[in-house]
């Protein structure tokens, strides 16, 4: 089983960006721990972080040809990107949306996700544990 883990804008700043909201782990820390979990489960992960919307769209559409599912933290694109929504819908891969913080306990504009409606589920508010929960959910959904 192969899963794409796709992280959006500003997540490369984790560990230093608003640690009171996002925690002190870096994205590399989170991805390393997730990779260890995936290895133990016999799952291959491909990880990508991009600050560019078009790169995120391209990564999603290309995943259709090599991945069985996607773990997606679209970050700010969650609330703004019809293009990311359409890419998820078009690739037809089971996708789990992940957010480190509880977006519903934050500013009002963060309460609406353009992308969640084309995902099989959304996990938010559990910090880096959300990625591990998403991995387990995808494995279960895909049937691995």
Domain residue spans in the chain?
A: 2-142
User: Facing residues of 70 across strands?
Assistant: 4, 95
pLDDT (0 to 100) of residue 119: 97
Which of 22, 85, 104, 131 is flagged as catalytic?
Answer: 22
pLDDT (0 to 100) of residue 109: 67
Assigned fold of 2-142: Rossmann fold (3.40.50)
Mean pLDDT by 10 residues, the chain (144 residues): 96 83 90 98 97 98 98 93 97 96 73 91 95 97 83
Q: Please choose, from the candidates 130, 120, 121, the residue with its C-alpha nearest in 3D space to the C-alpha of residue 99.
A: 130
Which of 66, 99, 109, 111 is flagged as catalytic?
Answer: 99
Neighbours of 41 (CB within 10 A): 12
pLDDT (0 to 100) of residue 29: 97
What is this structure's pTM? 0.93
Q: Please choose, from the candidates 45, 10, 13, the residue with its C-alpha nearest in 3D space to the C-alpha of residue 134.
A: 45
User: Facing residues of 4 across strands?
Assistant: 46, 70
Structure tokens at 52: 């560019």
Active site residue 22: yes
């Amino acid at each position: 089983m192969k899963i794409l883990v796709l992280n959006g804008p500003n997540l490369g700043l984790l560990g230093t960006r608003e640690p009171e909201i996002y925690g002190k782990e870096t994205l590399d820390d989170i991805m390393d721990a997730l990779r260890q979990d995936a290895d133990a489960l016999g799952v291959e992960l491909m990880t990508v972080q991009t600050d560019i919307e078009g790169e995120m769209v391209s990564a999603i559409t290309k995943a259709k040809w090599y991945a069985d599912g996607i773990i997606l933290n679209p970050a700010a694109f969650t609330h703004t990107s019809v293009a990311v929504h359409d890419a998820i819908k078009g690739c037809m891969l089971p996708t789990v949306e992940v957010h480190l913080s509880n977006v519903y306990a934050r500013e009002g504009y963060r309460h609406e996700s353009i992308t969640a409606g084309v995902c099989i589920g959304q996990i938010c508010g559990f910090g880096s544990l959300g990625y591990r929960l998403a991995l387990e959910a995808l494995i279960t959904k895909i049937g691995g």
